[in-house]
Structure 1
């Protein structure tokens, strides 16, 4: 297996651990804390993350890219690590002072905000960007398995009723902090000691980070301000309903965008060698693969969400079903958009092109939220988020019209995936007319299985190359195992 394939496997497994264990706590936490308790947690988390993202400038992506460039040159690597870490730590320290002043002076839920400050400390010690640039995804995986397992167990042991909101916040914050401390083990063997920081270098890095800052700031605007504005213009209960409806979609989004973390250092190395044809091929192939995997996920979730969400979240979260159904297209839109950023815009230093659609989207998001949240609450925020992401996606496609080969994408199965997805919808509509299942849980399982079988069957009938490759790989492994026995 190639190093890229291994890294993709590690990242996918990492995202599965990162999301699957917290996903298992969602039904429990929803029933114990209720929409209002979850809303308070989501609202305060959004504000502390606003401080963190403002302080970090564009250092996350920038740090990964710069590390990837010098990962085989230990002396340069030591300098890069020391300089970028110094910038991040200093900015977050300033942000922490401001955060405590504002919490003391203005914010409600003061004690929860003080607990949330642990996140600021956690991000001061965060060096994930470095290990991503070094393509050491296995270490990140081990860290996440350890920390998420501890957090998962702690939620069930210590969070017992609505009054345990404080304990829940503490568990979430400490999980991030302990995970980031773990990453420092054996770091010295990779980078050596901290090197003396040159202010000229700090200035150069800061200027480059600022070019990515507007992109990061814009992403932050429409990822965090929806919950903050819901908390201001609506109620914490609406924040909780939106949070749970959005969280399920975000789990699927994060899983399908996992391989983009691998693509950034890989693309940076390809570009360093000047092989632009390879980048174009990589983008077109990635779009084709994403379409093959993600389109059926969108369709299947849209079909089963009305059965899945009620039994998964429990009573009082009916509105979250509508929110998740509105946001379903984000799974496909963000999968493509994140890949384009990681494979082209960022490694190519196309900072203006990367930032433009995000800035436009952030402005649209704030405007739509101002109009829609007071009247429609969480549903209005969901409509605003979808509209924002769709606009960003369309602008990115326009900017990359000379790089993306639509003929290649269509020839490599895009129409097949659309046809198969439509066939799934038609088949499920027929099934619902003749099959009656009283249990939401059993209905979810049944239609997931039916949809999956139909999609795989259609792909085999239409002779899709990815399906045939997977089929050949599985059958060859089985026959090999039989021969050995």
Structure 2
């Protein structure tokens, strides 16, 4: 448990910095590059992301889980990791050929090719799954953090006007590529050069068979995550796509501390499943569910309260016409938090990719239908509504399909989580009555929310306070 807490603190520290940097760059880029350029960047990245799903072949989640399971069997681990690398390399070459045949028939060809070169280089040198599987998050976070800060500074220094979109794409690509190259070098030092005995047809075919559902899962996931951007651009709404994409990015920024929990727990829960430690898995799930509710509820209610002032201050005056998109989209903070619990801690660690894949296919079809039927009538409101409905459908599917393995419903609707929700509701009501403005509301909210948790005797916050008191007294 101590190691788990340390890993979370490392990753949380990284996620906080990653939260702060985009918090500055998003409003900067909306003003410097404009919504039209950001729409182009989003559209090209969406296409390239779908192609990258072929190159990675679904290996990221699969490999992380395999490393977590085999981390004490180094020779077998070396064999598996090198075979995974071989698969990724071969698939990367195939993707390059297919992309070359298609790219020149699409819009924004130059930006597409630039995005693809950088993304495929990242796929080739990506060994972060090896270090994640071994739960070596201190190394991952410190190196990534340094490069993120450099990338942030380069963005502020070099991206100055509407003509600098290519510079932004290069910076974003290098921010991913540089730490990947570093970890590739560390990986090769640790496991040594590949040996002939690692490779044989039987091992390779067995891996391909095991990877098949992960490959489908990775591809469908990318289609699911990017179909809205492609449809919006298809209807020539590049400007609206820029606005929509930046708002979605902002929600992901606020989900950063919650994302850290899933990043840490996925390999940890996979290892517990491998050891058949079902009771410990349930204990961890209960604890993480409480923590995720504790973090997500005040973020959701707080942003809802200050949404009008926040959108104008953060994105700029031009975005205020799309305030409704932001308010509806805030629900994605709740669905993202639930996804962290259900997908990262139940579905994937328990080898239930088939259930997740089925849910994704259904959710993608529903999302596509809503977009096609309503985008001409309600503009990008169709995109945000399609996103929310499909997310809720996917989560409901996974919850009920995995009930026999781990029933998360009692944890989601526990009395303790009800106390957290009530604390958030009362906080927003009090702040609404007082009308203190954006900064006054944030400061007072940070005082009211913990006070309400104490009054309701919420369990997790009580334990945290007790441990801090012991530390202070010592």
Bin of the TM-score, shorter chain as denominator length: over 0.9
C-alpha separation in 1, matches of 2:129 and 2:144:
15
Distance 1:387 1:410, change over 3 A: closer
Say if 2:224 and 2:360, in contact at 8 Å, map to a contact too.
no
Say if 2:305 and 2:432, in contact at 8 Å, map to a contact too.
no
Q: Which sits farther off after the overlay, 52-61 or 469-478?
A: 469-478
Distance 1:172 1:407, change over 3 A: closer
Deviation of the 1:412 alpha carbon: 5.2
C-alpha separation in 1, matches of 2:64 and 2:322:
35
Distance 1:238 1:270, change over 3 A: same
Say if 1:304 and 1:444, in contact at 8 Å, map to a contact too.
yes
Specify which of 252, 269, 287 is matched with residue 271 of structure 2: 269
Flag structure 1 segments of 5+ consecutive residues without an equivalent.
436-442, 481-485
Which residue in 2 is equivalent to 1:376? 378
Which residue in 1 is equivalent to 2:108? 109
C-alpha separation in 1, matches of 2:323 and 2:194:
50
For residues 49-88 of structure 1, the aligned pairs below 5 Å read: 49-88=49-88
Which residue in 1 is equivalent to 2:154? 154
Say if 1:280 and 1:404, in contact at 8 Å, map to a contact too.
no
Deviation of the 1:374 alpha carbon: 2.7
Specify which of 458, 462, 467 is matched with residue 452 of structure 2: 458
Which residue in 2 is equivalent to 1:423? 426
For residues 127-206 of structure 1, the aligned pairs below 5 Å read: 127-196=127-196, 197-206=199-208
Say if 1:283 and 1:340, in contact at 8 Å, map to a contact too.
no
C-alpha separation in 1, matches of 2:410 and 2:90:
49
Deviation of the 1:321 alpha carbon: 3.2
C-alpha separation in 2, matches of 1:372 and 1:125:
41
Deviation of the 1:475 alpha carbon: 3.2
Say if 1:424 and 1:454, in contact at 8 Å, map to a contact too.
yes
Secondary structure of 1:163's match? coil
C-alpha separation in 2, matches of 1:284 and 1:320:
37
Specify which of 305, 327, 330 is matched with residue 329 of structure 2: 327
Cα displacement string for residues 363-413 of structure 1 (whole angstroms, at most 9, x for unaligned residues): 111111112223323221111101110111111221233422645555551
Distance 1:407 1:388, change over 3 A: closer
C-alpha separation in 1, matches of 2:446 and 2:62:
39
Which residue in 1 is equivalent to 2:311? 309
Distance 1:30 1:348, change over 3 A: same
Deviation of the 1:286 alpha carbon: 2.3
Distance 1:195 1:17, change over 3 A: farther
C-alpha separation in 2, matches of 1:204 and 1:88:
15
Q: Which sits farther off after the overlay, 379-388 or 217-226?
A: 217-226
C-alpha separation in 2, matches of 1:340 and 1:56:
23
Q: Which sits farther off after the overlay, 354-363 or 128-137?
A: 354-363
TM-score where L is the length of structure 1: 0.92
Distance 1:410 1:165, change over 3 A: closer
Say if 1:93 and 1:124, in contact at 8 Å, map to a contact too.
no
For residues 207-218 of structure 1, the aligned pairs below 5 Å read: 207-218=209-220
Q: Which sits farther off after the overlay, 349-358 or 454-463?
A: 349-358
Cα displacement string for residues 189-222 of structure 1 (whole angstroms, at most 9, x for unaligned residues): 3222223322322221122121123332332122
Secondary structure of 2:184's match? coil
Cα displacement string for residues 309-332 of structure 1 (whole angstroms, at most 9, x for unaligned residues): 211111322245322211212212
Deviation of the 1:112 alpha carbon: 1.4
Specify which of 444, 460, 467 is matched with residue 461 of structure 2: 467
Q: Which sits farther off after the overlay, 298-307 or 197-206?
A: 197-206
Deviation of the 1:14 alpha carbon: 2.4
Do residues 477 (structure 1) and 454 (structure 2) align?
Answer: no
Q: Which sits farther off after the overlay, 384-393 or 291-300?
A: 291-300
Which residue in 1 is equivalent to 2:416? 413
C-alpha separation in 2, matches of 1:217 and 1:243:
21
Q: Which sits farther off after the overlay, 163-172 or 321-330?
A: 321-330
Say if 1:35 and 1:317, in contact at 8 Å, map to a contact too.
no
Q: How many residues align?
A: 470
Deviation of the 1:344 alpha carbon: 2.5
Cα displacement string for residues 81-137 of structure 1 (whole angstroms, at most 9, x for unaligned residues): 101111112112211222122222x02222212211211212221111111111111
Say if 1:214 and 1:359, in contact at 8 Å, map to a contact too.
no
C-alpha separation in 2, matches of 1:8 and 1:130:
18
